A and B are shown apart, each in its own frame.
Chain A
Amino acid sequence: MATDTAEGRTIISRLLDLAARHYDRPRASLGPEADLFKSLGIDSFQALDLLSRLEEEFRCEIPDYELQGITTFGGLAEVIARRA
């Protein structure tokens, strides 16, 4: 798990900060295990916008297909850890 390492924890907290800010959600309502679509109230098409923000934040490229099968913030953090 990306969240098991110090680096992973940084990624997840930066990811959650960004998601909370961008979608105007209380930071406390988001966590690594939370369903990212449900807790942000977005669909997979709107999540592409989130990917674009994450690319800016982490300075990496995340292809659209990486989102397939991802449901939690932790899962998304692992993708970033692999690509950043």
Chain B
Amino acid sequence: MSDTTSNRPAAKVHSAAPISAAPLPKLPKLPKLPLASKLPRAQCVHPDGHQHLGSLLYDATLQFRDQLALIEMDRKKTRTRLTYDDVRKDALRLARRFEQLGLTSDDRVAVLMGNQPSWLITAMAVFLRGMTLVPLDPKLTPEEQGALLRHAKPKALIVEAYHWPKLKLAVERPSAHGQGLPDGMLPIVTEWMGPSPEGPFARWEDAADAVPPTLVTRGRDDIACIVYSSGTGGRPKGCMLAHGSYLTQLAALMELYPMTPSDRFFSVLPTNHAIDFLSGFVGPFASGATVVHQRTMRPEFLLDTLKTQRITQMAVVPMLLEAFERALDTQLSTAKPWQKKALDLLSNVNAALTEKTANHALSKWLIKPVHDGFGGHLKLMFAGGAFVDERRARRFYELGIPVVIGYGLTECTTVATLQDLAPFRADSVGKAVPRVEVKVHAPDVHGHGEVWIRGATVMKGYLDDPELTAETLVDDESGPDGKAMGSSKWLKTGDIGWLDAARHLHLVGRKKNMIVTAGGKNVYPEDLEIAFADVGAEDLVIFAEHFVWGKPTPSPDAGSALVAERLVVVARGPDWEALAKKIADVNRKQPEARRVHALVRAPAPFPRTASMKVKREELAKALAERVTREQIVAL
């Protein structure tokens, strides 16, 4: 089954027009952005004309040579401003340095840095030399970073001065069992102050000799990056992503949400993740837009930068969206009652007028005070992740800043489905993006099944793990169903979802968390948890009782509350009595099939991953140890 959007032909060259440029009926003339009016209508560097990222980035830095490429903010001060010409020269210098330091085009180079210009320059230099980039998550612990480095075996590690001593200390500690760092790995450290330490060491900023670097060409099937999709515990999953995967994904994104040189993208999600790698690096470069970095994630400074740097687009995680909403509420709390009323009215008018397609200029004119709070230029926010709060996304949309919800995995170079804002929807994770097929495998009677993805964006496999690769990338078991695009393998996502009549994907939960009820029904705890989002719990999950406490011993008292398979809400909050009552109230209002049966008070905050997902298995183990079955209260 191939998605309707997947066969859409790709435009060779975009004359990128912002979505706000649709004609408006009878509106006052709006002031233009100062930069946009002066710029020539530049064409992008289209990924279809390239075989690898090195040539695409190089061409972009030539074509947009006089444009501003990178701005780095401290808190409120600008640290760095680089044009595309500056970036090209710096990347060539670094590429030559790599060559001088003895790194060959077969080598892997890891990068461990927060978002900043040096990150992007490093990546570009790696691709110019035909090498493979291994981006690491700076949020992981040094021990976890060490484990991933040992797995990826890079020949060099480009690392921020702050991270290097910590990493070295952690891997050389006796408790690390002397595992150390990969043999012969050269650290190339940025912003290192003071004398060079003993052992292999190089400074990132050092000049190269006057010889131009040897540029190495790669093909679409060659591996560009190895991106780890999980780093915490268990086996490392190094997704091998080819140049062609990135180029294909980029072409799709540019088709849906083209950027222009007047756009300014605020790169706040970590660049080691494919989403920012595309939307906050390769995408803006191909379009001549400006990327803005900031060395802090504090909402007060981010909001300030939105304004001073005239940010037009950014990608956010649900948590950041929440922080922005708090900032918005603070702003509104100081407004007079009549202003609030007027704003409500205008929000509704705005939502009605822009129902078919978002119109930034119109929204900006209608709801100026709110737009000013977000800098006045923000046109779009991309929100990744399966469970973006629908109400919150809708609220921002009604205020004229559409939140574009998407879904994807590192295993398929980030985005598999994306909202197209035609019309705005917050109830799904969007439709399959161009050049990607999405299907629901073996759907049950409700149409629910595992989400499978196919296309050139799907990874080549997990590094050094053929077994896991074979489990994850499969041939279609249900027979031929349309021609394959680029890759004949389907990626099994492990996510359960369904497709509606408009071919929008809806996610209901993770396959491994699925609960089969006593009545033989499949339910997904993540799906049921949504109903309890507003009860005021600090932590809340739903478990099948047996999953935590094992099968109950058959009791002669068959009339007790213990039914064959109870769904138990586990929660924690400051005022337990009130919370428990609220949960019971919400539960009562649910349709029968979505109701839970019992409640347990969690003794401690839930264990969570770096990306704040609850570690369900760990939590279940802890609960089994600390809470007895007798403490479960029937609802």
Contacts and interface: CB of A to CB of B under 8 A. Distances in A.
Given A24-B574, A45-B319, A69 B298 contact: no
A69 to B, nearest CB: 6
Interface of A: 24, 37-38, 41, 43-45, 48-49, 51-52, 63-65, 68-69
A68 B138 contact: yes
B300 interface: yes
B300 A52 contact: yes
Say what secondary structure dominates the interface of chain A: helix
A41 B605 contact: yes
Contacts of B166: 68-69
A43 B319 CA distance: 10
Contacts of A51: 298
Given A38-B605, A43-B608, A49 B298 contact: yes
Given A38-B605, A44-B139, A48-B297, 6 more contacts: A24-B574, A43-B319, A48-B298, A63-B296, A64-B295, A68-B138
Please provide the 4 A-B residue pairs with the shortest distance between their CB atoms, ordered closest to farther.
A48-B298, A64-B296, A41-B605, A45-B319
Contacts of B142: 69
B162 interface: yes
Given A38-B605, A43-B612, A68-B138, A52 B538 contact: no
Given A65-B162, A69-B166, A38 B604 contact: yes
Given A44-B139, A69-B141, A64 B608 contact: no
A11 B604 CA distance: 27
A64 B162 CA distance: 12
Contacts of A68: 138-139, 166
Contacts of A37: 605
Contact of B538 (A41, A44, A64): A41
A41 B574 CA distance: 10
Nearest to B320: A45
B244 interface: no
B298 A64 contact: yes
A7 to B, nearest CB: 25
B135 interface: no
A65 B164 CA distance: 13
Contacts of B138: 68
Interface in B294-327: 295-298, 300, 319-320, 323
A41 B572 CA distance: 10
A32 B525 CA distance: 37
Contacts of B162: 65
Contacts of A43: 319, 608, 612
A38 B319 CA distance: 18
Interface of B: 114, 138-139, 141-142, 162, 166, 295-298, 300, 319-320, 323, 538, 572, 574, 604-605, 608, 612
Given A24-B574, A69-B141, A69-B166, A45 B604 contact: no
18 contacts: A24-B574, A38-B605, A41-B572, A41-B605, A43-B319, A44-B139, A45-B297, A45-B319, A45-B323, A48-B297, A52-B298, A63-B295, A63-B296, A64-B295, A64-B298, A69-B141, A69-B142, A69-B166
A49 to B, nearest CB: 7
B140 to A, nearest CB: 10
A47 B142 CA distance: 20
A69 B170 CA distance: 11
A31 B166 CA distance: 25
B114 A65 contact: yes
Contacts of B141: 69
B60 to A, nearest CB: 30
Contacts of B612: 43, 45
B560 to A, nearest CB: 34
Contacts of A41: 538, 572, 605
Nearest to B160: A65
Residue of B139, B295, B297, B605 ringed by the most chain A CB atoms within 10 A: B605
B300 A64 contact: no
A56 B612 CA distance: 28
Nearest to A49: B298
Contacts of B538: 41
A5 to B, nearest CB: 24
Nearest to B607: A38
Contacts of A63: 295-296
Given A43-B612, A69-B141, A64 B297 contact: yes
Nearest to B296: A64
A71 to B, nearest CB: 10
A82 B267 CA distance: 30
Nearest to A52: B298
A69 B300 CA distance: 23
A66 B604 CA distance: 26
A52 B298 CA distance: 8
A26 to B, nearest CB: 11
Contacts of A69: 141-142, 166
A84 B296 CA distance: 19
A64 B74 CA distance: 11
Contacts of A52: 298, 300
A68 B511 CA distance: 33
B505 to A, nearest CB: 27
A48 B605 CA distance: 19
A45 B298 CA distance: 8
Contacts of B605: 37-38, 41
Residue of A43, A44, A63, A68 ringed by the most chain B CB atoms within 10 A: A68
Contacts of B604: 38
Contacts of A49: 298
A38 B607 CA distance: 9
A45 B604 CA distance: 19
Contacts of A24: 574
A65 B319 CA distance: 19
